[in-house]
Structure 1
Amino acid sequence: MNMVELSLVMPVKDEEAAIGPCLARLIPVIEAMDDPAARSFEILFVDDGSSDATLDVIRKANAADGRIRGISLSRNFGKEAALTAGIDAARGMAVVPLDVDLQDPPEALPKMVAQWRQGFDVVYGVRDNRETDSLPKRITADFYYRAHNWLSNDKIPEHAGDFRLLDRKVVEVIRRMPERNRFMKGLFAWAGFKQTAVSYHREERKVGRTKYNYWKLWTLAIDGITSASTAPLRIWSYLGGVVALGALGYALFIIIRTLTTGIVVPGYASLMVAILFLGGLQLLSLGVLGEYVGRILTETKARPLYVVRETIGTD
């Protein structure tokens, strides 16, 4: 493997219109840096099963500039798997995951590289605003970060995405993580090392449209929490204990009331409320347990995280 100073890893799916503008803005920013990375870098696109001409655009970009490389996966494996494929194939002493939509601005790269040169192993980007997000998304994102960090020992920086610089030794640690249920921000946090933040202004998406809807964001949030913590299982154990103690206390109350005031026939409404409440708790606890059992099944299959169909510009 011929090493370079800096690797930019960009998972893409149906982004044929975004690649050109991205390269036109990204490459001048890198070449203008007063750093060896300006003369030794690569841009690695990971085509995650695109159905448009994304792969052809990557081929043309590679033919025009050998510093641009590509990997085509055999189907759509999802962004976390595609990002993993890019990190595995990256040759840089520093690796930066970056979105092709330019919402995470390339102009933040010189600051990240400067912090890396000062000895930091991970330099993560933190949004100084979420103005490009809708109000419901801002509220749910803030709630998720707080919930994740409360439940997990692996704290993730609030309002930090995948946009970050990773030193080669951090990359090697991440490459050794075998789990199939990938939540990359959690893996970055677990790796540790010396970290610092760089603030940046998140921009509006200028080309194409996002592939993430609210359902995908919800499943990603569930993956993030269940991959980083077993606290949800523990919470339901505690809740079950509280309900059991409450039931025991209520039983003692009924016994004492019966002995002192006589037998009172319970009402239908209260009985139904108790049955539905306990039934709901049981179904919720089974759902939480099922999430973890499903992940155990996925891990025991030990299937590859991704399958590479084609490589472009790879030595």
Structure 2
Amino acid sequence: MLKQIKYSVIIPIFNEEEVIQELWQRLHKVLKELDGNSEVIFINDGSYDDSLEILIQIRLSHPEVKIINFSRNFGHQCSLSAGIDHAKGKAVILMDGDLQDAPEAIFGFVEKWKQGYAVVYAIRKKRKENFVKNLTFTLFYRILNALAGLKLPLDAGIFSLMDRKVILALRSMPEQNKYISGLRAYAGFKQIGVPVERGPRFRGEPRVTVVKLFKLAFDGIFSFSTLPLKIATFLGIVSSISAFILGLTGLFFKFILEQDFLNWTYGLTTTFFIGGIQLFFLGIIGEYIGRIYDEVKQRPYYIIDEKIGFQEEVNYYESSQQISE
């Protein structure tokens, strides 16, 4: 008889050989206490250490472990999307593989899910990271919330539980530059946040660089807001009106008062200032055009080298529906 899956846990892995064993021990202990069968989908995102070999060894004694091995490194959001595409559970849990997301917090997520919430996300408190990164995250969430056209929860990252209907909604959003936390909010349904203390990495160096943070921030802002374009239009109108007024004022000073209005240094400064603004907003327009270009190409969001362990399980939700019918 095929096994029915109730809980799916999705974990991207990139060079986490020092963390995987501890992560699995803690997560396995949590899953044993949950009601119903579980699967854990590890996405090996092009690791060049021994992460894949360690995952395969774990699967030998734990058939609930499934592995998706990418052909190369595609990134965190792509890895999560692959897990979402393959998850069979009625409840799907997303978490990082560095143990900054405590597996024990899953109990609180499941409790809220059973109360009827379709999305339960972690509100990260007391991040144990450096001041600059904490400040960057804090500003990012608030700037995105101010710019986006929908209400996004503050300080809510990837760590979350989503009902099957939310997962199906996410699968229907084939965007190339995904910001999954934003898409989760966009999907709607009944959502609630649970305070979770963000721990330090168990071992090793942080995988998220400043460049990757900026890429994620840009994906979030440009995927959910056209406000930067509206600001460009507004400033263009203001600049044109200001230039017209300054022009009339200059003519008045020259022909009526017979005086110089502004000397060449002011004119040169104004030219560089306006030129800088133009280049800045051309960059913003370029970000939108680049994303349109990505969508038009329709390249696969990720490429899988091999899948391990995706033969014997069935979809809990769909099989339950068939039984009830």
**So what's the TM-score if we normalise by structure 1?**
0.95
Query: Counterpart in 1 of 2:31?
Result: 30
* Change in CA separation of 1:305 and 1:211 when aligned onto 2, cut-off 3 Å: same
Taking only the aligned residue pairs, the percentage that are identical comes to 38
Report the aligned-residue RMSD.
1.4
Moved more, 77-86 or 246-255: 246-255
Please tell me whether residue 65 in structure 1 is matched to residue 47 in structure 2. Answer: no
The correspondence for 1:100, drawn from 92, 97, 100, is 97
Structure 1 residues 172-191: aligned runs within 5 Å? 172-191=168-187
Letter in 1 for 2:268: M
> AA paired with 1:196?
I
2:242 corresponds in structure 1 to 246
Query: Equivalent of 1:271, from 267, 271, 281?
Result: 267
Runs of 5+ in structure 1 lacking a partner?
A: none
Secondary structure of residue in 1 paired with 2:6: strand
Q: Is 1:295 aligned to 2:296, yes or no?
A: no
Find the aligned partners of 1:282 and 1:83 in 2 and give their Cα distance.
Answer: 37
The secondary structure found in structure 2 opposite 1:177 is: coil
Partner of 1:11: 12
C-alpha distance in structure 1 between counterparts of 2:76 and 2:159, whole Å = 13
Q: Which runs of 4+ in 1 moved over 2 A?
A: 255-260
d(CA) in 1 for partners of 2:206, 2:200: 11
| Cα separation, 1, equivalents of 2:118 and 2:170 | 13
2: distance between equivalents of 1:277 and 1:126? Answer: 41
Which residue number in structure 2 is paired with residue 310 of structure 1? 306
In structure 2, the residue corresponding to 1:206 is in which secondary structure? coil
Work out the CA distance in 2 between the residues paired with 1:81 and 1:295.
Answer: 16
Residue identity in the other structure for 2:283: G
Superposed, which structure 2 residues align to 1:168-207 within 5 Å? 168-207=164-203
Secondary structure of 1:92's aligned partner = coil
Q: CA deviation at 1:295?
A: 0.6
Corresponding residue number in structure 2 for 1:166? 162
In 1, Cα distance between equivalents of 2:195 and 2:134: 18
250-259 vs 113-122, which moves further: 250-259
Pairwise CA distance, 1:113 = 0.3
The alignment covers a number of residue pairs equal to: 310
Contact 2:250–2:261 (8 Å) recurs in 1? no
Q: Secondary structure of the equivalent of 1:140?
A: helix
CA spacing shift, 1:291–1:3, aligned 2, 3 Å: farther
Give, in angstroms, the shift of residue 144 of structure 1: 1.2
AA partner of residue 313 (structure 1): G
Question: 2:202, 2:230 → 1: CA distance?
Answer: 44
Secondary structure of 2:195's aligned partner? strand
How far the C-alpha of 1:265 sits from its partner, in A, is: 6.8
**In the alignment, what sits opposite 2:53?**
56
Equivalence for 1:125:
122
